[in-house]
Structure 1
Amino acid sequence: MAASALDEPPDDRLSFRLLNDYQRDFPLCPAPFAELAARLTAGEAAILRTLAALCQRGKVARVGAVFAPQRIGASTLAALAVPAEALRVVADTVSRFPEVNHNYEREHHYNLWFVVTAGSGERLQAVLEAIERAAGSPVLALPMLREYHIDLGFPLDGSDRTRRGTPSGTPIAPTPLDETDRRLVAAVQEGLPLCRRPFAVLASRVGCSENALIERLRVWCAEGIVKRFGVIVRHHELGYTANAMLVHDIPDDTVA
């Protein structure tokens, strides 16, 4: 499930390099696509054109940040037990909530699982209650207590480049945000505009300077608030067609 997962012509190495090499460690500088072009010995226009085509074909969701769970705002894994005949309708209803960023069917009594992210714990609870009302069924909320390993990258070259959390580490308190930070989070989660100076465009939306915005992102990456910044791929469209959730019942004192 490496390079063969791509539906690209054999000579289209630029697409592969962008998809494989830049799911993290994307250049945080005023002209990032020009920097990528220099690294990949390609033209900046070719980089932008290729990324736009990958987005259009559904292989790339966006170029942007993946925030660490619970470091900014609040989030939880949640589930519903839905009658099979109503699953599609309820799934569509849940997916319409902007706070829901993943939603999928599982083989279990709780057959609809989704992730909810909000700006605060209060907002998160309000969204869960609204989903309950809309779905007509109680929501099972399973918030993360401690991170052991989360890495949503998908190496396509057969390598193992995952990064692991610290099992013995204590949970980290959420980082307080001012209004500018909140606007920055919202802007970055939408993804970078595919243009020559994308951070300048985001800065104009956020209300700060381009340099200040880039420096803030660098700090968040260094502090682990942003787990990775780069090309966010859609794994199913790249050929990863199966996955499973594995759950163990382990005594609390031996979990770590």
Structure 2
Amino acid sequence: MIEIKNVTKSFSSRRTIDHLNLTIPHGKIVGFLGPNGAGKSTTIKMMTGILPIDEGTITLNGYDIEKQPMEAKKTFGLVPDHPDMFLRLKGMEYLNFIGDIFNIPSDIRKERIERVTKQFSIYTALNDYIQTYSHGMRQKIIVTGVLLHDPPIWILDEPLTGLDPKSSYLLKEMLREHAEKGNTVFFSSHGLEVVEQLVDEVAIINHGKLLFYGTLQELREQNPSNDSLEEVFLEMTNDA
């Protein structure tokens, strides 16, 4: 479970997140929607301890991300919007680095690395440097790192960007399976069709404020004049 309580974040004199309250339960896939600059990535960076919180609190499975950072960070895996990290490491070096951080036993580590990287078709590239990978391959190696330590909470910022259709389908199946086991999946996306196909609930944010949180059915019932999620989203986030 992710609990965001009265969270505010400002940069210079501009308030990016404005008293945001949001609770993401266990066993759900929740899509996080908003136009560019709405505050999605800033929220995710505060959730994961990358950015400090100006006001309010964020807890992950009961651990405060600022007061109990080590405990909180053990509960989640993050796929950032730009997977350009650890470029001077080889793929296998990166995965072993993740395995060492989370104390993954060697036999479990070996099995998970081989299984997931073969599914993502990057197994033969594990001895290559990540800087030689395409964007999609970098995305896959980061996702593999998340799956390696199998945290209860998955936080993903535009996770399907750059993935080929097969890998995109595979990741969506993994997200469903993770939630069906009673875990939490929270992901941001601009792909409204993907969100419509995949999520149990959706949160819509604009100018740092939560506009809606609930099921797609509830969203449609509140906006009966619109036929599609795209139309609802555009009307809700239309500044005019």
Normalising by structure 1, report the TM-score: 0.26
Flag the structure with larger Rg: 1
* Greater RCO, CA 8 A, separation 6+: 1
Higher share of residues assigned strand: 2
Normalising by structure 2, report the TM-score: 0.27
